[in-house]
A and B are shown apart, each in its own frame.
Chain A
Amino acid sequence: ELKVEQNPLFLSMQEGKNYTIYCNYSTTSDRLYWYRQDPGKSLESLFVLLSNGAVKQEGRLMASLDTKARLSTLHITAAVHDLSATYFCAVDRTSYGKLTFGQGTILTVHP
């Protein structure tokens, strides 16, 4: 059974600082997705990583995938308050979109 684990689960950051969220998964996959969820809202797709070594960047967020280590990272650069949200990684080891989600990382950015 595929297990997806994120750490940390809670992250309190100061504005302007850098940090990384880690997503480990237990079985081989080369399809990994990152989502953002604001309180009481839906999930917004951030990154789609579909091969080993894939790196995607959008604004202050950068995601990478190492399929050999079964690890994805979401790096936050110079955090701002607007990045406060819950971040989920999700892994698909099927060929039809059966996503297994991590527990989510609650990120709070404060002045």
Chain B
Amino acid sequence: DTAVSQTPKYLVTQMGNDKSIKCEQNLGHDTMYWYKQDSKKFLKIMFSYNNKELIINETVPNRFSPKSPDKAHLNLHINSLELGDSAVYFCASSPGGPGENYEQYFGPGTRLTVT
């Protein structure tokens, strides 16, 4: 009964490949997010969807594309992987809604290593 789950947990791939990370939440939340945590543990938001609509789209390379088939799922597809993409990617969800509490619940993370 994991609240926010991600697959895979580890992903090792070569430069130039395309890969996807999947995220699912069973909390009934309306808003989902993708974050990147670099080697220095710095966390930066990448994208957010509210009810399948993109609401946050930070300055990330076009090679990163989020997709939300429904409000319980938010996937991240990465094209032409580069060494600098190596990081831990966290998915999160929150109840959301304008003016509401946006306390975010994080998934276990996906450690991506590009060689």
Contact between chains at A42 and B102 (CB < 8 Å): no
B109 — which chain A residues lie within 8 A by C-beta?
A: 41-42
Contact between chains at A96 and B56 (CB < 8 Å): yes
- A35–B55 CA distance with the chains assembled, in angstroms: 23
Known contacts A98-B45, A101-B44; A42/B108 CB under 8 A? yes
Interface of A is mostly: strand
Binding site for A on B (CB under 8 A): 31, 33, 40-45, 48, 50, 55-56, 90, 92, 94, 96, 98-99, 101-109
Binding site for B on A (CB under 8 A): 31, 33, 35, 37, 41-45, 48, 50, 86, 88, 90, 92, 95-101, 103-104
* CB-defined A-B contacts under 8 Å, sample of 12: A41-B108, A42-B109, A43-B106, A95-B98, A96-B31, A98-B56, A99-B102, A99-B104, A101-B43, A103-B40, A103-B41, A104-B43
